[in-house]
């Protein structure tokens, strides 16, 4: 195990550019590598990835390992896992961080199985033991009713997927440079057993970018009925924000899953999060507790959401929301 050194962050690429989650993970990656005196490397796989490489350097990677070619023009679990496995065998990283996106959740388990090592999924916290080098992965457990800290002390590399939005992106430095290592890794014939037939973008997913929003106004079961989400939307519109929702509201069919915040939805960290009629179950708190400022509106003064809120309004959301929206309109005018 002493052969394994340095921490890798897998940089997911979309249309040649780095997706936010990979850049977010360079922050905790930098903190952990500095703590143990190792290097931080970004791994970029794809085709036409120059912009992603530049971004990885700007956000703090010491090295950038690039596997580029026609074999990687479109994501496939077989091809990308093959490339990651070949790179891992060659360079022997101690730790690999992967975003818990649909792609990361597909590739991460496949990679860990092939390497005969462990994987901790859907992490919301990262620390490192500076003596042993063991990463302490924190994730919700038992249905989100408690947080577990998991270590993988007996095998390397340590692999974990981390939810988007858990860590905030640092400030990029466009003048920063990094060592770029380009690897030619052709995929053997027969490795890829799937074919991409067509790409279909769900309209709701394209419209709701919760992870990137600075302001989120979320509604829960306390709204009473789906029509009252119009009150949430009105406040979000006047603030220039987007609409979120609790799992209870989504499960009731009041709004699409694309809006869901929480353990089984999106993890967000906006500058302002307004929770309207949301009680504050731990599953929901796991997805939004990293917000800079939290405002809770609930008629139950003992609702758990008030324990994490910076500001609380005890009242009926159907009365508070229109008054708040109108007050903000007057202020802006």
Longest dimension (CA), the chain: 65
Say if residues 233 and 239 touch (Cβ distance below 8 Å). Answer: no
- 221 marked ligand binding residue: yes
- 264 marked ligand binding residue: yes
- 261 marked ligand binding residue: yes
Q: Exposed, middle or buried: residue 171 (CB in 10 Å: 0-12, 13-18, 19+)?
A: exposed
- 284 marked ligand binding residue: yes
The DSSP string of 215-230 is: EEEEE-GGG-SGGGHH
CA 83 from chain centre, in angstroms, equals 23
Say if residues 228 and 219 touch (Cβ distance below 8 Å). Answer: yes
Q: Please report, in angstroms and rounded to a whole number, the separation of the first and last CA atoms in the chain.
A: 64
Q: Of 314, 323, 270, which is closest to residue 296 (Cα–Cα)?
A: 314
- 220 marked ligand binding residue: no
Say if residues 161 and 144 touch (Cβ distance below 8 Å). Answer: no
Report which DSSP code applies to 167. S
- 247 marked ligand binding residue: yes
- 136 marked ligand binding residue: no
CA 139, 127, 289, 305 dihedral sign is positive
Say if residues 18 and 55 touch (Cβ distance below 8 Å). Answer: yes
Beta bridge partners of 313: 297
- 280 marked ligand binding residue: yes
Strand ranges for 163-239 from DSSP E: 179-183, 215-219
CA 128 from chain centre, in angstroms, equals 20
- 282 marked ligand binding residue: yes
- 76 marked ligand binding residue: no
Q: In the chain, helix, strand, coil percent, each to 5?
A: 35, 25, 40
- 112 marked ligand binding residue: no
- Residue-wise burial string across 114-125, b where 16 or more C-beta atoms lie within 10 A, e elsewhere: ebebbbbbbbbe
Say if residues 12 and 49 touch (Cβ distance below 8 Å). Answer: no
- 298 marked ligand binding residue: yes
Binding-site residue positions for FAD: 221, 246-247, 260-264, 277-284, 298
Binding-site residue positions: 221, 246-247, 260-264, 277-284, 298
């Amino acid at each position: 195990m002493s052969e394994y050194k340095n921490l890798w962050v897998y940089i997911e690429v979309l249309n040649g550019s780095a997706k936010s989650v990979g850049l977010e993970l360079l922050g905790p990656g930098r903190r952990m590598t500095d703590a143990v005196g190792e290097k931080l490397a970004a791994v970029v796989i794809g085709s036409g990835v120059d912009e992603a490489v530049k971004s990885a350097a700007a956000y703090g990677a010491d090295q950038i390992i690039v596997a580029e070619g026609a074999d990687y023009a479109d994501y496939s679990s077989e091809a990308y896992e093959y490339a990651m496995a070949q790179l891992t065998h060659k360079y022997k990283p101690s730790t690999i961080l992967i975003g818990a996106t649909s792609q990361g959740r597909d590739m991460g388990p496949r990679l860990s199985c092939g390497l005969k090592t462990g994987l901790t999924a859907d992490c919301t916290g990262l620390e490192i033991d500076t003596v042993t080098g063991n990463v302490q992965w924190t994730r919700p457990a038992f249905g989100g009713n408690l947080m577990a800290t998991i270590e993988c002390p007996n095998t390397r590399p340590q692999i974990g997927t981390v939810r988007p939005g858990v860590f905030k992106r640092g400030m990029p430095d466009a003048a920063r440079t990094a060592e770029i290592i380009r690897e030619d890794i052709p995929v053997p014939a027969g490795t890829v057993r799937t074919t991409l037939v067509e790409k279909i973008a769900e309209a709701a997913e394209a419209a709701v970018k919760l992870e990137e929003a600075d302001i989120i106004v979320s509604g829960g079961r306390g709204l009473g009925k789906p029509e009252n989400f119009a009150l949430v939307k009105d406040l979000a519109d006047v603030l220039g924000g987007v609409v979120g929702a609790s799992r209870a509201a989504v499960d009731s069919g009041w709004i699409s899953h694309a809006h869901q915040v929480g353990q089984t939805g999106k993890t967000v960290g906006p500058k302002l999060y307004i929770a309207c009629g949301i009680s504050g179950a731990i599953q929901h708190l796991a997805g939004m507790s990293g917000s800079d400022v939290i405002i809770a509106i609930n008629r139950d003064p003992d609702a758990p959401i008030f324990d994490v809120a910076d500001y609380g309004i005890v009242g009926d959301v159907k009365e508070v929301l229109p008054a708040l929206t109108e007050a903000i309109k007057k202020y802006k005018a």
